[in-house]
């Protein structure tokens, strides 16, 4: 008895300990203190973040991955960025450009092979062609673009980002930064300074301690300002780092980075601290870890149906709690790092939908103790984190909020409540899917569990109706506050309204006795269709004030999801004769179905 009580906490402990192991400091690569360099704060996209985040997001945009294999070893984003900045000749030969579109490959005179990653060196000779085609594609309205036009524009944007990164600190194939400082006052240099100012992808030089918080400078700006005057100390340090890395002198590089770091610590200690925290967050990848732990919980639970139930079922719950803790830590870190409520864009909404569903599921499990709560919340957490993982490709997931969205009050109230409404509707749908499968698979009659399942689903639908209604009306009030229209029948508003109407419909149909157990469950699965359409589908219409995010490729994924849910509705509605036969098929459980 006592040992079984220890199972959940020990399973949770093992999972969390394994997750935390990645936080241990990494070994130096070839003697270079990459870690320290990666922690340096910079200003990019309007936000102060560590170089590590810039490196990861850029590589993710260009290659759709955060690291790659080259010459038999793994190159992480930080090391790649160092080569892009200081050894462009090496970076240019690394296969980082992901190109999959056959017509784009054709334009470059390349054949579609199993290798879809190309170095800049291969693209270089075709730059003019790519630029021409991209310029033509840009003229076309984004909704009317062909697949080729979309792909060539996307490639051009990635090449341009790469080019900007290469020209952030010193001009590619031009004078080194140290030479640039030496001839800062030479009038012939000013054109290069202007080029650097224009192209810099991020700003490395912190503003002085008393200055304006956003007055970070790129090396071009510092060079321009320093013409004739004594050179900037930070700029000189940077030049030292650049030369050391170009010469592959690890000792000198490490000294330079440490010196630069102490300079930043003097002027912007808070930014340095923030950078450290964000690097930890990047490295821990809490949402990826959470996804894996949820999957393990799910597998443990399924295994428990067949074998050693007494050990595996509590272990599954322990893993679920561990997953929830890691997920919560990740969510909390994002809130702290960004200084915003948890939901600010599509990516974070996916993270939050899963989190809220998992928390509700844990409560259900504590209330009903039948393993159902564990199953659906592990499944919901896993699924939503997979969705979030695929929404990451847009670059920085903590981007700045556009003017009208720049309101922590409304983000915290409207956005959070409506997202909890999505969670609730999905959770009810997940419970109902569990019900439908149970009908087909259960080996013994267990009316008590069926009853618990039905009552959980009903409770969750009530919960979902509450949050989606309040969220929807709060959205209306926000709209009234920001453009004087409480309700504009905008697609996103309509989507939210549909969720409210659907949940209200289920409750009223149940109250009137028009649907019973099976009908309620089928309608709850239908809720998944409506919520997914409201969450993602309306963004694909490209109308209205709420349409954000590019969603071209996602149309098929969404259609597939909806088809699967409709199939599950059909499965749920199958008449009793198709259910798994039981010895006592006329039992009480079946009488409830209609």
Partner 1 sequence: MPRTRNRVLDALTSLKLAIVCLVLLMVLVVACTLAQVRMGVFGAVNAYIRTFLVWWTVPGTSWTIPIFPGGGLVGLVLTANLVAAQAKRLELSVRKLGLWIVHLGLIVLFVGEFATSFFQVEMQLAVEEGKTVDYVESTRDAELVVIDTTAADHDEVYAIPEALLVPDRFIEIPGTPLFLKVNAFYKNSDLARRGPNDPPSLATMGIGPEVNVTEAEPGSGDDQPNRKAAFVEPFAGPKSYGTWLVSDVLGAPQSFIHNGRTYSLSLRRHREYLPFAMTLKKFQHDVYAGTDIPKNFSSLVEVSRPSTGEAREVLIYMNQPLRYGGKAFYQASFGKNDTLSILQVVENPGWLLPYVSCVLVALGLLVHFALGLRRSAARQKAALEA
Residues 122-147 as b/e (b if ≥16 CB within 10 A, e otherwise) read bbeeeeeebeebbeebeeeeeeebee
d(CA 267, CA 11) in angstroms, rounded, equals 45
DSSP class of 412 = I
Classify residue 5 by burial, with Cβ atoms within 10 Å: 0-12, 13-18, 19+: exposed
How long is the chain? 594
Residue whose tokens read 């394994």: 18
Binding segment (CB under 8 A) for partner 1, from list 66-74, 362-370, 439-447, 578-586: 362-370
Residue 480 is a binding residue for partner 1 (CB under 8 A) = yes
**Among residues 13, 302, 363, 483, which is the contact residue for partner 1, using CB under 8 A?**
483
Determine which residue in the list 216, 287, 355, 435 makes contact with partner 1, applying CB under 8 A: 216
Count of C-beta atoms within a 10 Å radius of residue 257: 25
Distance (Å, rounded) from C-alpha 556 to C-alpha 307? 38
Part in contact with partner 1 (CB under 8 A); list of ranges 110-118, 169-177, 439-447, 485-493: 485-493
- Tell the smallest beta-carbon distance from residue 540 to partner 1 (Å): 10
Q: How far is C-alpha 79 from the geometric centre of its chain's CA atoms?
A: 23
Exactly one of 68, 277, 305, 368 binds partner 1 (CB under 8 A); that residue is: 368
C-beta closer to partner 1: residue 25 or 513: 513
From 27, 209, 306, 403, residue interacting with partner 1 (rule: CB under 8 A):
403
Task: Kindly tell me the burial class for residue 102, based on how many C-beta atoms sit within 10 Å of its own C-beta (0-12, 13-18, 19 or more).
Answer: middle
Backbone φ, ψ for residue 117 (5° rounding): -110, 130
Q: How far is Cα 79 from Cα 90, in angstroms, rounded to an integer?
A: 11
DSSP-assigned states of every residue in 172-214: TTS--HHHHHHTTT-GGGHHHHHHHHHH-SSB-BPPPTTS-TT
Nearer to partner 1, 210 or 228 (CB): 210
User: What minimum distance in Å lies between the beta carbon of 497 and partner 1?
Assistant: 6
What is the rounded radius of gyration, in angstroms, for the C-alpha atoms of the chain?
A: 28
Question: Are the C-beta atoms of 104 and 134 separated by less than 8 Å?
Answer: no
**Beta strand 67-70 pairing with 73-76:** antiparallel
CA distance 593 to 589: 8
Query: Nearer to partner 1 by C-beta: 541 or 591?
Result: 541
* Stretch touching partner 1 by CB under 8 A, among 17-25, 154-162, 535-543, 548-556: 535-543
* Residue placing its CB nearer to partner 1 in the complex, 168 or 377: 168
Q: Which is nearer to partner 1, 148 or 466 (CB)?
A: 466
Tell me, by CB under 8 A, how many residues bind partner 1: 66
* Minimum CB–partner distance for residue 454 and partner 1 (Å): 11
The 543-572 contact track toward partner 1, x by CB under 8 A, reads xx----------------------------
- Quickly tell me which residue has 């508003």 as its tokens: 493
Number of H helices, E strands in the chain: 26, 6
Please identify, using beta-carbon distances, which residue of 143 and 577 lies nearer to partner 1: 143
How far apart, in Å, are the Cα atoms of 406 and each of 362, 412, 415, 419, 447?
33, 11, 12, 18, 51
Q: Could you tell me where the DSSP H helices lie in 445-488?
A: 447-483
Q: Smallest distance from the beta carbon of 161 to partner 1, in angstroms?
A: 14
Nearer to partner 1, 75 or 200 (CB): 200
Between 12 and 530, name the residue whose CB sits nearer to partner 1.
Answer: 530
Cβ proximity to partner 1, 277 vs 487, nearer residue: 487
Between 17 and 448, whose beta carbon lies closer to partner 1? 448
Q: Which two tokens stand for residue 147?
A: 């697949």
Q: Could you tell me the CA-to-CA distances from 161 to 40, 65, 97 in Å, in that order?
A: 20, 16, 11
The pattern of x and - marking residues 47 through 76 that bind partner 1 according to CB under 8 A reads x-----------------------------
> 572 near 525, Cβ under 8 Å?
yes
**Considering beta carbons, is residue 248 or 482 the nearer one to partner 1?**
482
Per-residue x/- track, 164-183, partner 1 (CB under 8 A): --------------------
What's the min distance (Å) between Cβ of 46 and partner 1?
A: 3
Q: Which of 369, 390, 580, 594 binds partner 1 (CB under 8 A)?
A: 369
Nearer to partner 1, 326 or 372 (CB): 372
Name which of 117 and 463 has its Cβ closer to partner 1: 463
Site for partner 1 in 448-477 (CB under 8 A): 448, 452, 455, 459, 462-463, 465-466, 469-470, 473-474, 476-477
For partner 1, the closer of residues 323 and 459 by Cβ is: 459
Q: Which of residues 30-49 bind partner 1 (CB under 8 A)?
A: 43-47
Tokens, residue 565: 């849910």
CA–CA dist 524, 569 (Å, integer): 9
Q: What sign has the CA pseudo-torsion 204, 207, 213, 219?
A: negative
Q: Which of residues 486-525 bind partner 1 (CB under 8 A)?
A: 486-491, 494-495, 497-498, 501-502, 504-505, 508-509, 511-512, 514
Residue whose C-alpha is closest to residue 275's, from 248, 256, 257: 257
Tokens of 309: 């139930």
| Least spacing, CB of residue 490 vs partner 1, in Å | 6
Among 17, 215, 251, 332, binds partner 1 (CB under 8 A): 215
Residues 407-426 within binding reach of partner 1 (CB under 8 A): 407, 410
Q: Rounded to 5 degrees, what are φ and ψ at 50? A: -75, 155
Stretch that binds partner 1, among 211-219, 226-234, 258-266, 293-301 (CB under 8 A): 211-219
Sites of contact with partner 1 (CB under 8 A): 43-47, 202-203, 214-216, 367-369, 399-400, 402-404, 406-407, 410, 448, 452, 455, 459, 462-463, 465-466, 469-470, 473-474, 476-478, 480-491, 494-495, 497-498, 501-502, 504-505, 508-509, 511-512, 514, 538, 541-544
């Amino acid at each position: 008895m006592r040992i079984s009580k220890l199972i959940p906490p020990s399973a949770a402990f093992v999972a969390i300990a394994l997750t935390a192991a990645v936080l241990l400091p990494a070994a130096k690569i070839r003697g270079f203190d990459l870690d320290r360099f990666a922690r340096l704060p910079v200003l990019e996209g309007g936000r102060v973040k560590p170089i590590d985040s810039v490196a990861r997001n850029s590589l993710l945009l260009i290659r759709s991955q955060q690291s790659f294999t080259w010459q038999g070893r793994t190159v992480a984003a930080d090391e790649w960025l160092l080569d892009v900045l200081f050894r462009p000749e090496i970076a240019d030969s690394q296969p980082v450009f992901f190109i999959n579109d056959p017509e784009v490959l054709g334009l470059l005179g390349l054949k579609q092979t199993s290798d879809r990653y190309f170095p800049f060196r291969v693209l270089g000779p075709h730059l003019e062609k790519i630029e021409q085609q991209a310029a033509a594609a840009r003229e076309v309205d984004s909704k009317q673009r062909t697949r080729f036009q979309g792909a060539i524009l996307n490639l051009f944007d990635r090449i341009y980002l790469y080019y900007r990164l290469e020209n952030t600190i010193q001009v590619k194939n031009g004078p080194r930064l140290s030479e640039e400082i030496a001839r800062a006052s030479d009038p012939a240099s000013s054109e290069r300074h202007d080029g650097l100012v224009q192209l810099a992808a991020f700003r490395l030089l912190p503003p002085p301690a008393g200055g304006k918080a956003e007055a970070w400078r790129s090396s071009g700006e510092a060079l321009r300002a320093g013409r004739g005057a004594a050179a900037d100390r930070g700029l000189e340090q940077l030049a030292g780092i650049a030369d050391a890395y170009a010469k592959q002198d690890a000792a000198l590089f490490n000294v330079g980075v440490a010196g630069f770091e102490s300079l930043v610590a003097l002027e912007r200690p808070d930014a340095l601290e923030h950078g450290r925290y964000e690097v930890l967050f990047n490295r821990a990848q809490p949402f990826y870890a959470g996804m894996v732990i949820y999957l393990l919980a799910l597998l443990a639970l399924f295994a428990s149906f067949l074998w050693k139930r007494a050990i595996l079922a509590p272990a599954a719950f322990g893993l679920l709690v561990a997953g929830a803790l890691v997920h919560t830590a990740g969510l909390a870190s994002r809130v702290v790092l960004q200084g915003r409520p948890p939901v600010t864009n599509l990516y974070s909404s996916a993270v939050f939908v899963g989190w809220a569903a998992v928390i509700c599921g844990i409560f259900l499990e504590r209330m009903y103790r039948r393993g159902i709560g564990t199953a659906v919340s592990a499944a919901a957490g896993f699924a939503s984190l997979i969705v979030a993982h695929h929404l990451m490709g847009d670059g920085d997931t903590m981007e700045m909020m556009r003017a009208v969205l720049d309101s922590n009050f409304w983000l915290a109230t409207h956005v959070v409540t409506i997202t909890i409404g999505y969670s609730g509707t999905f959770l009810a749908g997940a419970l109902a899917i569990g019900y439908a499968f149970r009908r087909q698979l259960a080996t013994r009659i267990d009316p008590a569990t069926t009853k618990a399942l039905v009552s959980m689903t009903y409770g969750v639908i009530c919960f979902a109706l509450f949050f989606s209604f309040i969220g929807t009306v709060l959205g209306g009030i926000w709209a009234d506050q920001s453009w004087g229209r409480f309700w504009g029948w905008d697609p996103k508003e309509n989507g939210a309204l549909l969720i409210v109407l659907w949940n209200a419909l289920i409750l009223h149909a149940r109250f009137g006795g028009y649907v019973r157990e099976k009908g309620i469950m089928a309608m709850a699965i239908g809720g998944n269709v409506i919520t997914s359409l409201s969450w993602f589908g309306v963004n694909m219409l490209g109308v209205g004030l709420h349409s954000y995010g590019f969603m071209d490729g996602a149309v098929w994924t969404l259609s597939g999801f909806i088809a699967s849910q409709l199939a599950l509705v059909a499965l749920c509605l199958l008449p009793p004769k198709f259910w798994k036969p039981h010895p006592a098929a006329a039992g009480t459980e079946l009488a409830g179905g209609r």
